[in-house]
């Protein structure tokens, strides 16, 4: 059965899309820690981020960096932090989280 993220990528479940390329997809988290909290996922269904090939892991981070720069413009903040959790959804993903101050860091 397809993961919830695959169903989002396929357009079966609505989301607020932030960016997309041929391999990766970025959309706002439905339960954001802060405004602009974004998830970056590979279109390939892989359980956990460190199960990706080295090449895809690197490409995912290059894509995430571009998305982070766009988030910084859309949601003024000091920086965009990255977190890898993966407790809830078994489909590899990176959390991109705008941070206002060092004290706002949750991870
Ligand atoms: P994790 O697996 O890293 O613990 O967390 C998964 C993240 O996916 C959570 O932050 C959760 O809010 C988000 N999430 C789960 N289901 C959906 C959904 O249907 N739509 C969106 N936009 N985000 C979701």
63: CB partners within 8 A, 6+ apart: 19, 21, 23, 24, 26, 40
Ligand 1 shell residues, CB under 6 Å: 4, 8, 13, 15, 27-31, 39, 85-89
65: its two tokens: 């960096």
Query: In this predicted model, what pLDDT tens digit does every residue of 9-50 receive, in sequence order?
Result: 999 999 999 999 999 999 999 999 999 999 999 999 999 999
pLDDT(103) > 70:
no
Domains of the chain with bracketed CATH: 4-104 (3.30.428.10)
Position with higher pLDDT, 104 vs 101: 101
pLDDT(106) > 70:
no
What are the residue numbers of the active site?
A: 93
Beta strands (DSSP E) in 1-107 are 17-20, 24-28, 38-42, 79-83, 94-99
Ligand 1 centroid–CA 32 distance in Å is 9
Please tell me the predicted confidence (pLDDT) of residue 76.
86
Residue to mutate (ligand 1; options 2, 8, 31, 86; most atoms within 8 A of CB): 31
């Amino acid at each position: 059965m397809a993961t919830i993220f695959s169903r989002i990528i396929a357009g079966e479940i609505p989301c607020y899309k932030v960016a997309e390329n041929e391999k990766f997809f970025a959309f706002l988290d439905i339960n954001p820690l802060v405004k602009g909290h974004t998830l970056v996922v590979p279109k390939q269904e892989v359980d956990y981020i460190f199960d990706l090939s080295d090449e895809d892991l690197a490409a995912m981070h290059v894509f995430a960096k571009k998305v982070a720069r766009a988030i910084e413009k859309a949601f003024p903040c000091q920086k965009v932090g990255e977190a890898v959790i993966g407790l809830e959804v078994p489909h590899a993903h990176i959390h991109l989280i705008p941070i206002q101050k060092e004290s706002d860091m949750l991870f």
